[in-house]
Amino acid sequence: MRLLLNGNEAAAHAARLARVEVLASYPITPAAPVMEKITQFIAEGTMRCNFVRVESDHSAMAAALGATMAGARSFLITNSQGLAYMSEVLYHTSGLRQPVVMAVVNRALAAPHSRFPEHGDVVAQETSGWIQIFCENNQEVLDSIIQAFRLGEDEQVRLPVMVNYEGYIQSHTRETVDMPEQEKIDAFLPLVRRPVLDVDNPLAVNTVTGPELYMDYKYHQDAALQRAGTLLGEISEAYGAVTGRNWGGAVTGYRLEDAEVVLVTMGSLVSTARIAVDALRAAGEKAGLLKIRLFRPFPAEAVREMLKPARAVVALDKNIVYGAGGALGRELRAALYGFTNVPVYSYILGLGGRDVGVEDLTAIYRQVNEGLAAGKFPALYQWYGL
Amino acid sequence: MEVYKTLAEIPQDELFTGGHGGCRGCGAALAVRQAMKALGPRTIINIPASCMATIGGSGLTTAWMVPFYHSLFECAPAVASGIRAALDIQGIKDVNVVSWAGDAGTADIGFQALTGAAERQENIIHVCYDNETYMNTGGQAGSVTPYQAVTPDTPTGKPTPRKDMLAIMAAHRPAYLATASVAYPLDLIQKFQKAKAIQGFRYIHILAPCFRGWGIREDQTVQLARMAVECGLWQLYEEVDGRRRVTVIPERRIPVREYLKLQGRFKNIDEATVAALQAEADRRFREVQS
């Protein structure tokens, strides 16, 4: 069934199809409509789910964590200030290996106050231990949320997952979205209960841990996160077999075969960059695109492999790690260092909802080409569109 | 509803066992041990940052015989709300869900999640074990620390009166509200039995002295907890549907001064304050008699 849905509606339908049992959320712009849609599903009786009407994002994360620990499939939504506010609970959720899934409708962090999109909110949580998936359109939002439950709940992973899409650009823009049949999703995503808080099997959870054990817990947590990177590819394939849509694993390439200058980005900018690459190709340029679907764990090995033939890499970052540059630019340099001498051009753009169009990306492409021709070493990072 | 009539009826089984990490004479550990006699094995407990969060579990050992989660400081009632939502959707109806916090996890940093859960009338029990200071970090003053109490960060005495958490919680109209004291175990256990039998949001506030914070000897915990009731500064009561019933009228009454003078933390207290506290205690006793 094909419907015209905005990103928030797609996320709500994904939660319904995934048979989410507990929703704990606090309204925040522009994510609140997901919560409204799910409470509507509950009221209509099309979704069997308990909604915990918490008083804050901190409590939302705490309630979702509690619910998952007690054996329920749990979901929540947030972004921006709400995500920052729940930060310490994010670390509890990943440290306790609880597969909560959260839709993050990316929005800039204050100050100055902004309601508009960028990736700064979620990049700020890059060390939280959550799996972070980015979506380029509303169909991918729906599909990725369903896949996120299977990924996070996998026994080899057992970690929480953030599924990211941008405020307004995706959350409030309608696109055609194919709705998979419930039976197919049920078969793809069976409910397996693994409560850690169970009166029939009492455990003490999160006891004070000394230096003789803490680091080992962290090692296993990191190893599980790394496994998620590999597993996402398998899960995407399995999902493709069921629905006909395979978004690829952690990273996918577009027109990379003989590409000399490769644009690398994530989120809604991927769609824009794909059109820009087509336009550049039509003009005789050897342009390519690398779509980062999985930001955490960062797919460094796949990126190395796929960027081997490139003469230049262009990181397009809708975030700024102050004083250090864009998160993608930094990750790409770290991944490529020692394997290739290819220059990484790092651009900061689109912050706080500033528009980025096809013409901006082609302009950046030409700037990079000029830089290459001049043989100049690229700057650590540069701002575009001020 | 069945409640134990005598101490002899209370089960011998311990759900919070020996070997925990509390100090000798720890009022908080006493409170938990007593409460668990009523709550029983079908209980899930989560405790935010506090002495109690560490006393019962450290490394790979635990004194808890029920599922225990050491949660974050601000959000034990929210965690409990999530646990309840998860149990409900699975059709599990016979499990008590408890958030058990100290006075900071209840009245200060934990207050937002508490008032949220209370307003939603979550089907959980929130317990405040109150030692009137932040003892887990060395005894600093909090919002329920009494007026003029000397603490590490109020070295000349706390300049403001104790926040009235019971009035605040009563204003949420909980399904059950009670005060308790570790010096009156039968009363405490009966209140947990009653709370357990009621659906909805339940709030129990236990006076659980900390000998270190109060400047008393470790063998004086129970004595001081009893004297607080005997002098009238701590009243034992319960409220259902907004109607208050005093559950213990002490056999002997003592002056407030006698309770205060045993405690190192009140060494700077002035006469006017003592007189005001005595007047408050007298008023409470008159209310019970009328």
Where residue A347 sits, what CATH number does that domain have? Answer: 3.40.50.920
Counting the structural domains of chain A, the total is 2
With H, G, I as helix, E, B as strand and everything else as coil, classify residue B21.
Answer: coil
A192 touches chain B (CB under 8 A): no
pLDDT at A168: 98
The verdict on A225 and A330 lying in the same domain is no
Residue that finishes a domain, picked among A187, A220, A243: A243
The verdict on A234 and A302 lying in the same domain is no
Task: Give the nearest chain B residue to A64 (CA atoms).
Answer: B82
A175 within 8 A of A3, measured Cβ to Cβ: no
Q: How many CB atoms lie within 10 A of CB B25?
A: 18
| Residue B290 scores a pLDDT above 80 | no
The verdict on A204 and A258 lying in the same domain is no
Beta-strand pair B176-181/B202-207: parallel
Computed over every residue of chain A, the mean pLDDT equals: 97
The string of pLDDT tens digits covering residues B145-184 is: 999 999 999 999 999 999 999 999 999 999 999 999 999 9
The verdict on A274 and A228 lying in the same domain is no
Cα separations (Å) of B21 from A177, A212, B53, B58, B181?
A: 57, 19, 10, 8, 21
A74 touches chain B (CB under 8 A): yes
User: pLDDT over 90 for what percent of chain A?
Assistant: 99
CB contact (8 A) between residue B82 and residue A65: yes
pLDDT at B289: 81
CB contact (8 A) between residue A207 and residue B42: no
CB contact (8 A) between residue B78 and residue A62: yes
The verdict on A344 and A275 lying in the same domain is yes
The verdict on A282 and A306 lying in the same domain is yes
The string of pLDDT tens digits covering residues B20-46 is: 999 999 999 999 999 999 999 999 999
B155 within 8 A of B181, measured Cβ to Cβ: no
Residues of A in contact with B118 (CB under 8 A): none
Q: Give the structural domain span for A324.
A: 251-383
CB contact (8 A) between residue A66 and residue B46: yes
The interface pTM score, or ipTM, of the predicted complex is: 0.97
Residues of A in contact with B43 (CB under 8 A): 199
Beta-strand pair B125-130/B176-181: unpaired
The verdict on A229 and A341 lying in the same domain is no
CB contact (8 A) between residue B86 and residue A71: yes
Question: Hey, which bits of A32-169 come out as E strands?
Answer: 50-52, 74-78, 101-106, 131-134, 161-166
Angle between helices B185-197 and B27-39 in degrees, nearest 10: 40
One DSSP character per residue, A129-156 reads --EEEE-SSHHHHHHHHHHHHHHHHSTT
| Residue B1 scores a pLDDT above 80 | no
Residues of A in contact with B86 (CB under 8 A): 21-22, 50, 66-72, 74, 195
The verdict on A73 and A185 lying in the same domain is yes
With H, G, I as helix, E, B as strand and everything else as coil, classify residue B188.
Answer: helix
Residues of B in contact with A89 (CB under 8 A): 72, 75
Task: Give the nearest chain B residue to A197 (CA atoms).
Answer: B67
Nearest to B113 among A48, A62, A64 (CB): A62
A187 touches chain B (CB under 8 A): no
A342: Cα separation from own chain's centroid? 26
Computed over every residue of chain B, the mean pLDDT equals: 97
Tokens 């407990």 — which residue? Answer: B45
Q: Catalogue all structural domains in chain B, each as residue range(s) with its CATH number.
A: 7-289 (3.40.50.970)
CB contact (8 A) between residue B112 and residue A50: no
Q: What is the pTM of this model?
A: 0.98
Nearest to A206 among B70, B82, B116 (CB): B70
pLDDT means over runs of 10, chain A (386 residues): 97 98 98 98 98 98 98 98 98 98 98 98 98 98 98 98 98 98 98 97 96 97 98 98 97 97 98 98 98 98 96 98 97 96 97 98 97 93 97
pLDDT mean over B98-107: 98
The verdict on A263 and A197 lying in the same domain is no
The verdict on A190 and A121 lying in the same domain is yes
Task: Give the nearest chain B residue to A89 (CA atoms).
Answer: B72
The string of pLDDT tens digits covering residues A338-355 is: 999 999 999 999 999 999
Residue that finishes a domain, picked among A243, A262, A297: A243
For residue B243, which phi and psi values (nearest 5 degrees)? Answer: -95, 125
**CA pair distance A344, A201, nearest whole angstrom:** 53
The verdict on A124 and A162 lying in the same domain is yes
